[in-house]
Chain A
Amino acid sequence: MNEEIIIAGFGGQGVLLMGKIMAYAAMMQNLEVSWMPSYGPEMRGGTANVTVVISTERISSPIVNSYDTAILLNQQSLDKFENSVKPGGMILYDPNGISRHPERKDIKIFQVSAASEAAKMLTTKTFNMIVLGAYLKTGSPIRLEDVIKAISDSLPERHHHLIPANVEAVKKGMEIVQEINS
Chain B
Amino acid sequence: MADIKLMKGNEAFAEAAIRAGCDAYFGYPITPQSEVLEYLTAQEPHKRTGMVVLQAESELAAINMVYGAAGTGKRVMTSSSGPGISLKQEGISYMAGSELPCLILNVMRGGPGLGTIQPSQSDYFQATRGGGHGDYYTPVLAPASVQEMSDFVKLGFELAFRYRNPVVILSDGIIGQMMEKVELFPQQPRLAEFDQSWVTTGKTPDRKRNIITSVDLDSARQEKHNQDLQKKYQRMRENEVRFESTNCDDADYILVAFGSASRICQKTVKIAREKGIKLGLLRPVTLFPFPAEEIKRLGRQVKGMLCVELNAGQMIEDVRLAVENNTVVALHNRMGGMVPTPEEVYHAILQKFSIE
**In the complex, A20 has a CB within 8 A of chain B:** yes
Nearest-CB residue, chain B, relative to A20: B179
A115→B299 CA distance, assembly (Å): 57
- With A23-B6, A35-B6, A35-B178 known, 7 other A-B pairs at CB within 8 A are A20-B179, A27-B6, A34-B178, A37-B178, A60-B264, A60-B270, A61-B267
**In the complex, A176 has a CB within 8 A of chain B:** no
B118–A40 touching, CB < 8 Å: yes
Give the size category of A's interface with B.
Answer: 20 to 34
A36–B177 touching, CB < 8 Å: yes
Nearest-CB residue, chain B, relative to A34: B180
**In the complex, A117 has a CB within 8 A of chain B:** no
Cβ 8 A contact of B180, one of A33, A37, A60: A33
A-B contact pairs, 18 of them (CB 8 A): A20-B179, A27-B6, A33-B179, A33-B181, A35-B178, A35-B179, A37-B177, A37-B178, A59-B180, A60-B263, A60-B264, A60-B267, A61-B264, A62-B174, A63-B264, A63-B339, A64-B267, A66-B343
A93→B20 CA distance, assembly (Å): 45
Q: What residues of chain B have their CB less than 8 Å away from a CB belonging to chain A?
A: 4, 6, 31-32, 117-118, 173-174, 177-181, 260, 263-264, 266-267, 269-270, 339, 341-343
Cβ 8 A contact of A60, one of B177, B266, B339: B266
**In the complex, A65 has a CB within 8 A of chain B:** yes
Nearest-CB residue, chain A, relative to B179: A35
A64–B174 touching, CB < 8 Å: no
Given contacts A39-B31, A40-B31, contact A62 B263 (CB under 8 A): yes
Which B residues lie within 8 Å of A32 (CB)? 181
Interface membership of chain A positions 15-37, coded 1 if the CB is closer than 8 angstroms to chain B and 0 otherwise:
00000100110010000111111
A88→B255 CA distance, assembly (Å): 31
Given contacts A39-B32, A39-B117, A40-B31, contact A64 B342 (CB under 8 A): yes
A62–B181 touching, CB < 8 Å: no
Which A residues lie within 8 Å of B178 (CB)? 34-37, 62
Nearest-CB residue, chain B, relative to A154: B6
Which A residues lie within 8 Å of B266 (CB)? 60-61
Which B residues lie within 8 Å of A64 (CB)? 267, 341-342
A70→B177 CA distance, assembly (Å): 21
B246 CB, min distance to chain A CBs, angstroms = 9
Given contacts A24-B6, A60-B342, A63-B341, contact A35 B180 (CB under 8 A): yes
